[in-house]
Structure 1
Amino acid sequence: MSVPLNSRFNVGKIPYEILEKIVYSRLGFQDKNIVVKPGVGIDASVIRLGDGFIALACDPITAATEKAGWLSVHINANDVACVGAKPKYFMPTILLPEGSRHVDLEEVMDDMDLAAKELEVSIVAGHTEVTPSVNQPVIAGGIVGVGLGSEPVLSSGCREGDIIVMTKYAGLEGTSVIAHEYYDKLREIVGEEILVRAMSLMDMVSIVREAVAAYRHGASAMHDPTEGGVITGLYELCVASNAEIEVNLDEIPLMEETIAICKAVKIDPYKLLGSGALLVSIRADRFQSLKYEFEKMGIKYSIIGRVLKNGKCSLRVYRRGREVKYEFPFPDAIYSVRV
């Protein structure tokens, strides 16, 4: 597809074909130790180091202001965990808008410090400034993880016959962000009790524990759905693996709070910020041992689909027996919230 050079981007992720043409074709010197380089659906790059590997990832927090520091650590940690690495070293860039106070920076750092201690992650470098270029705090984090074994698990690893498993629920992060950001406006619509519970869903965004378990039980591929929700995460698995995947929306669980809030603001919960869920492609026989591990850990899981074949990139989505069409990429549903 030919895109005029002066055309403007929409809000959200850059179109995949533009990433391929403009970003992934300009990656500098390619060191021989790079095992996995950036690409669509790639959670983290992987570098060979001796007999093992390290994983590197970076992600910004742009939609949330509440607990942004805490969220930045966990969102980045999720990415390296998806390739089978333990999060170890975090590097944030904190951009504050004009008029920010000491207490604003202190809140960000308190939250970041708490999250880092929860994951046993060290904050080792970074940058902090006040700039007129932003109108709310923006945190761009980078993280280094150390491989749990000798080889990573890649999001390109989906194989024909695999089942697709999702942990927890869709839209957890987005539900919490909306509840925090629109609390006063939504209180009269959905009720204070639902909003309070919704805000607490942020505590469920880490998928490090379940990713480690899936790695140890032989997952073929893992992916952490973030912007664009679970649907985008599934499509990115298709792209990374060049695979045709079939998914049933009826099997993707939603929290009561997500259903209520998404109905109130008229958005699709499956297109909503998805951190907190982990997508796992795994052979059915290997899943038998993994599901017992999940149950022992108290982690909810659902079988939501299957890999039909490799060699064709396609996501087939069904609901109540009918196919549902999505056009990719699309802006995250959170950018469509109107109250």
Structure 2
Amino acid sequence: MTDLGKVDREFFDEHIYPHLGADRGDVSLGPQHGVDFGVVEVGDRAVVLASDPLSLTPALGFERAAWFAVHVALSDAAVSGVPPSHLAVTFTLPPEMTDEEFATVWETFDREASDLGVSIVTGHTARYGSCRYPWVGGATALAVGDPDDVVRPDGASPGDRLLVTKGPAIEVAGYLVTVFEDAVDLPPETIADAKERFWDMSPVRDALTAAAAGPVTAMHDATEGGLQGALVELARAGGVRLDVDAAAVPVLPGVAEACDHFGVDPWAATSEGTLVLTVEAGGADAVLAALDDEGIPAAEVGEVREGEGVYVDGEPTTHPEVDPTWAVFEEYAEKTGPGE
């Protein structure tokens, strides 16, 4: 297991995958390393499930922190292509969180869930003495729909086109620069560009827009391990080879400068909000046009071929295994103490 971040594939395969409880016939997609969601078939409906921890960083302000938290909670279900419909939320709050601060958080959850057509159906809320920011609970999102509408993570096929929205390291710019702004030595206009990326840190509308527009065959959001990790995981899930043109990948304002400042590889760094997807060749233009209509930057960056692995400009690449963002957060948290 890595010291920080998600467990690696070896740990998952040895300790988690062999022990998954009862073997039920209604589970049509179970746990896999690097796969965002599972699927249960209930009658003629598919129920997509995805769980994630909840984090709230007070330095963001509680409204922005809650916006990020609810979109993270919904994102893994959304990449199934089925719109999220239900949400269960557990808050294990630190004692110092005030009623007024929690009210702001919950009102934001309600606003964002209502806007996306999601009903919050159950949960648990309490303060506990040993709890502290930013990790304050967990959430499980459900998306209920037609089984034929589910975009499976293993659906990429040779001949498909490879698309990326927003590009690498959105979270490095939008989150880290916002939280640690006072310790960031960058020009004011660059800091403003980087902070604007905060509102790009959700792939929910990216995924739902793409799935509604064309024949999307697979989707994966670029969280821990960043764009590089997401590409490797998508190729592994589908048993295919991805050939990527690095120059075609979009890079949004403020991202390169933020990565240089923090000393991280933008392709390996967490990028909540970035979506990697494969589309049947004849539908790529329609998907790109739909994303553009929604104001979501996206580009065709490569193709799916027979074989395995990821090749960037002809060179093989591997999973970064450890996301460099964790070390940066720990370093700057010691300097500035966000959330205290």
**TM-score for the superposition, normalised by structure 2:** 0.87
Contact kept in structure 1, 2:166 and 2:252, CA below 8 Å: no
Q: How does 1:1-339 map to 2 (within 5 A)?
A: 9-62=2-55, 64-65=57-58, 66=60, 67-138=64-135, 139-147=137-145, 150-186=148-184, 189-216=185-212, 217-310=214-307, 312=308, 314-318=309-313, 323=315, 325-337=317-329, 338=331
CA distance in 2, matches of 1:121, 1:267: 36
State the AA in 2 paired with 1:200: E
Aligned length: 325
CA distance in 2, matches of 1:63, 1:332: 20
RMSD, aligned α-carbons: 2.3
State the AA in 1 paired with 2:210: A
CA shift at 1:145, angstroms?
0.8
Contact kept in structure 2, 1:225 and 1:233, CA below 8 Å: yes
State the AA in 2 paired with 1:329: E
Deviates more, 1:89-98 or 1:231-240: 89-98
CA distance in 1, matches of 2:80, 2:209: 12
CA distance in 1, matches of 2:275, 2:304: 16
DSSP 3-state at the match of 1:129: strand
Gap change, CA 1:333 and 1:251, over 3 Å in 2: farther
CA distance in 1, matches of 2:163, 2:319: 23
Show structure 1 runs of 5+ residues with no match.
1-7
Show structure 2 runs of 5+ residues with no match.
333-340
Contact kept in structure 2, 1:97 and 1:131, CA below 8 Å: yes
Gap change, CA 1:61 and 1:191, over 3 Å in 2: farther
Gap change, CA 1:290 and 1:325, over 3 Å in 2: closer
CA distance in 2, matches of 1:134, 1:251: 44
Gap change, CA 1:74 and 1:102, over 3 Å in 2: same
Q: Tell me what 1:3 maps to.
A: none
Q: Which runs of 4+ in 1 moved over 6 A?
A: none
DSSP 3-state at the match of 2:178: helix
State the AA in 2 paired with 1:260: E
CA distance in 1, matches of 2:105, 2:324: 24
Contact kept in structure 1, 2:288 and 2:299, CA below 8 Å: no
Gap change, CA 1:106 and 1:195, over 3 Å in 2: farther
Q: Tell me what 1:5 maps to.
A: none
CA shift at 1:165, angstroms?
0.3
State the AA in 2 paired with 1:141: A
CA distance in 1, matches of 2:17, 2:194: 37
Task: Give the fraction of aligned pairs with identical amino acids, expressed as a percent.
Answer: 26
State the AA in 1 paired with 2:205: R
CA shift at 1:223, angstroms?
0.9
Contact kept in structure 1, 2:219 and 2:276, CA below 8 Å: yes
CA distance in 2, matches of 1:133, 1:245: 45
State the AA in 2 paired with 1:293: A
